[in-house]
């Protein structure tokens, strides 16, 4: 008799090649209609699975994890961010957590730069004017944006994505500045010609563009608070492709509406999928539906990492992308 395949519950619909491979390797329980699992469905999945493969839409806090059955030993997250998973609680229950770092770096950096361009050069405003038929002809002082060459870009979190963004921004002639808990290596700093700011407050006050590229943790919740947002120059643009919770969204919306900020390019939101209504009405804000990592190649690469983590774990080895609670 053939050995029982491990049951892997996948909470959202994944690209077809990923689902086909999962089904070949494991007893894969898929989500063909791609509905977000309710708390009750998630509880059943936790109780029944050997491996759970969740996404950012699944809230796995300590209370939810109490539903885990005795066979659940691995949560193989489909995504790099794990702020939706209580990794400490999982560890206490003997459940290993993995993620998919690295594969989304270039895609997210591409979209971050696209938002910088769109917000600085008013691309969405211009496209809306054309599509509405309101274009009446060129004039010298109409639809003026801001030049990127020479602009000071402040990166909040110079990790993989921040580094990839900095390389792209250098090609546009931007000055690179960054704030981390500690400086990056001298080699990387020299490569990027980047200036390190120990004080986030001082960096914010001097930048033309701020890009948020740090993860959401208890320490970074509202890192860009109302107080810090008021330090920004009036023409400054904020771009966020990380997590909405890092910015006080209500305070930012109020400042944008009052003309106290130059603009924003946002792909993530504090109460996602709900977006502050003020942001929806502002012409100087570019809003995207959490799509900075949405490429076919990136999603397939994520799936490959999920499967490698699962197979490595089931083979009795430490998975390559294990999330250590002390890292959170």
Q: Which sequence positions are flagged as catalytic? A: 243, 272, 290
Measure the CA–CA gap between 294 and 228, rounded to whole angstroms: 31
Note the Cα 299 to chain centre separation in Å: 14
Distance CA 151, CA 168 (A): 13
- Of 61, 103, 59, nearest to 79 by C-alpha is 103
String of DSSP letters for 160-220: HHHHHHHHHHHHTTPEEEEE-SS---HHHHHHHTEEE-S-HHHHHTT-SEEEE-SPP-TTT
Q: In this structure, what are the phi and psi dihedrals at residue 158, rounded to the nearest 5 degrees?
A: -90, 65
Q: Would you say 125 and 143 are in contact if contact means Cβ atoms under 8 Å apart?
A: yes
């Amino acid at each position: 008799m053939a050995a029982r395949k491990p049951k892997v519950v996948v909470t959202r619909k994944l690209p077809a090649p990923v689902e086909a491979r999962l089904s070949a390797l494991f007893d894969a329980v898929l989500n063909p209609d791609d509905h977000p699992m309710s708390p009750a469905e998630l509880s059943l999945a936790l109780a029944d699975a050997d491996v759970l493969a969740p996404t950012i839409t699944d809230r796995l806090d300590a209370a939810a994890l109490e539903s885990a059955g005795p066979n659940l030993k691995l949560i193989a997250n489909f995504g790099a961010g794990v702020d939706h998973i209580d990794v400490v609680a999982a560890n206490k229950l003997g459940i290993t957590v993995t993620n998919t770092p690295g594969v989304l770096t270039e895609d997210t950096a591409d979209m971050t730069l696209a938002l910088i361009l769109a917000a600085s050069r008013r691309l969405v405003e211009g496209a809306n004017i054309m599509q509405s038929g309101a274009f009446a002809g060129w004039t010298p002082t109409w639809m003026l944006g801001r030049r990127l060459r020479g602009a000071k870009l402040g990166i909040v979190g110079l990790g993989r994505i921040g580094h990839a963004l900095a390389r792209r921004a250098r090609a546009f002639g931007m000055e690179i500045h960054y704030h981390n808990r500690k400086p990056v290596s001298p080699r990387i700093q020299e490569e990027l010609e980047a200036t390190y700011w120990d004080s986030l407050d001082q960096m914010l006050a001097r930048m033309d563009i701020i890009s948020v590229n740090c993860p959401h943790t208890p320490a970074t919740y509202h890192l860009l608070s109302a107080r810090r947002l008021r330090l920004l120059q009036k023409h400054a643009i904020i771009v966020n492709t990380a997590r909405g919770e890092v910015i006080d969204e209500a305070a930012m919306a109020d400042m944008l509406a009052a003309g106290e900020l130059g603009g924003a390019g946002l792909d993530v939101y504090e109460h996602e999928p709900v977006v502050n209504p003020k942001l929806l009405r502002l012409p100087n804000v570019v809003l995207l539906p959490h799509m900075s990592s949405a490429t076919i190649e990136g999603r397939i690469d994520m799936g490959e990492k999920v499967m490698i983590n699962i197979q490595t774990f089931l083979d009795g080895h430490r998975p390559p992308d294990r999330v250590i609670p002390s890292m959170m």
